[in-house]
Structure formats: structure tokens, C-alpha cells
Amino acid sequence: MRYAAIDIGSNAVRLLIADIIQNTGSVSFKKNTLIRVPLRLGDDAFIQQHISEKKTTELVKSMVAFRNLMDVYKVTDYLACATSAMREAKNGEEVVKLIKDEANIDIDIIHGSKEASIIYASHAEQNIDKSKNYLYIDVGGGSTELSLFSAGELIVSRSFNIGTIRILDNQDTEETWNEMKDFVRDNTRNFKQLSGIGTGGNINKLFRLSEEKEDMPLTFAKLRSLYTYLSSFSLKDRINVLGLNQDRADVIIPACEIYLTLMKNANIKNIYVPRVGLVDGIIQTLIEKNLQ
């Protein structure tokens, strides 16, 4: 069996095709193919509140390609989710209908709390001590999803309209920043020795740049020094000298700012980076729907 996950984000769209592995009493998956297309829908959605004709055409072409790949790989079930950019675009539903007509893909525009719950379904915490307290932090192009866990139980979850593309486009507000900081301080002050769990493409890249050992956390001090190091390069040099992809080289700076702000306000000294994201959670959601 093969399942597919499609994530239509504010910075990029992704297709993950995964092979489903059934052992006695357990079901897991192995990543087969992952494709990422940097469409930057957020540039339209956050400034104009409208997905332009050009971006719509590119998105439809990407979805037709994803449909063809799913057919060739003989995918048996899929789930396609659109997040912050499509939530805010006034023509989001029109674009969804066009994709259904052209690519025969059904897309759910999901709200922030649903996004957070799907990310949590990725079981990013499975190799981590469940008796401890964790703040899940998922930073996207348009929003940041936060979930507080204590002894494996969800305490509180919230989505904020602060993301990397939104910051680059100057569409973040001081009010939302303050709201997010207050939320974190109010909900974490009673938890001692809180650790972070970071998901999303930027924290994954930061972890690789840190050259930290697998399964070891990234410290606040290390992340801050990485931020200082990356900020010392121009955008051009982050691409040419450091070898970052063009669509990663700009967003990685505001991503650092979000993670550092949250870790500081929650008094988090270590953040674990399990290298999973929304697409992993979607595959797990399909497994739970169909097989468990």
C-alpha cells in the first residue's frame, strides 16, 4: 500500500509518497518520494488577500503533476491540506475548485488548530521522554502552531499569524507578536524544565547546519550563535557561499527569530528536532483512518 500527503503551504507545496509497512500489531511508513515546489503563495495571500492568476496557474500545474505521480506510484489513498495562505486568500475556495476540475485532487483548507493536531499526529515525540514537558513549535510561512504537552497529554494548543513569509512581507503585527509571547508565558510559567520540539523545513535545516548529533537537542545558545552567523552573510552569500537554496536563504532568518523568541519567553534551553512536518502527520492520519 502507498499513501500520499500534499501540503499546500505559504512558502512551498510538498508531495510525500510513503510505503505503508504492516507488521504484527503495528503499522508504520517509509518515505518513498518527496517533492517540494517553492511557489510562495503567501506573497499573494498576505499582501493582496488573493492568489494571483500567475500563482494559480503554477499551483494547478503542480497539482496536475502530483496527480500524475500519485497515479504512476499507484497511491491507494491521499489527503491534501492547504494552510495559512489559502486560508487568507479570498479566492481560496475558487482555486480549490479549479484544482478539483483540472487535477482531480480534493483539497481541505484547514484552520490552525487542525494543522497543529495533524503535525502532532506525526508522532514527533515518540523517541522522547513522555514524562517530561514539551512545547511543540511548528513555524511555517504564514503561521506558527504551538502545542503544550505535559506527561504525554495535550494541555493547550494555539495558532498565530506569524510566519516567515509574513515577516518578510512586513505583514506581521506587533499585536500578534505580543499575543503569542503572552500566550507562551502564561501557559508555560508553571512547567519546570520545559523542552521544545521543533518541526518544519527551517528548523530541520538549522539542525543540519548546527552539525549536532542525531537525537541530541539544539541548545538555545547554539541556535542564537547560528542566527548571528547566518545574519552576518548577505542574502546572496547565504546562497552562493553557504549553499542554501534561494527559497530557504531568506526565510531561515525570520524562522530563527521566531524560535529564539519562543524559547526565550518559555525559558526553553533545548529544542529537539525530529525532522518531521505536516506531510508526515498527514500520512499518520491516513494510517489511523484506514488501518487502526
Nearest to 57 by CA among 77, 37, 73, 75: 37
Strands 270-272 vs 195-199: parallel, antiparallel or unpaired: parallel
Q: The whole model's pTM is what?
A: 0.92
The CATH class of the 125-272 domain is alpha beta
**C-alpha cell recorded at residue 188:** 508555560
Which of the listed CATH numbers 3.30.420.40, 3.50.50.60, 2.60.40.10, 3.40.630.10 matches domain 2-112? 3.30.420.40
φ/ψ region of 12 (left if φ > 0, alpha if ψ in -120 to 50, else beta) reads: beta
Where do the structural domains in the chain lie, given as residue ranges? 2-112, 125-272
* CB 109, CB 35: distance < 8 Å: no
* CA–CA dist 43, 164 (Å, integer): 11
* CA–CA dist 273, 198 (Å, integer): 5
In this model, does residue 271 exceed pLDDT 90? Answer: yes
Express each pLDDT in 196-244 by its tens digit.
999 989 999 999 999 998 889 999 999 999 999 999 999 999 999 999 9
Express each pLDDT in 127-184 by its tens digit.
567 778 999 999 999 999 999 988 878 899 999 999 999 999 999 999 999 999 999 9
* CA–CA dist 75, 125 (Å, integer): 27
Residue listed under C-alpha cell 530557504: 248
CATH topology identical between 2-112 and 125-272: yes
* CA–CA dist 162, 180 (Å, integer): 9
Max CA pair span of the chain: 53
Phi, psi of 212 (to 5 degrees): -75, 150
Express each pLDDT in 9-63 by its tens digit.
999 999 999 999 998 878 899 999 999 999 999 999 999 999 999 999 999 999 9
φ/ψ region of 141 (left if φ > 0, alpha if ψ in -120 to 50, else beta) reads: alpha
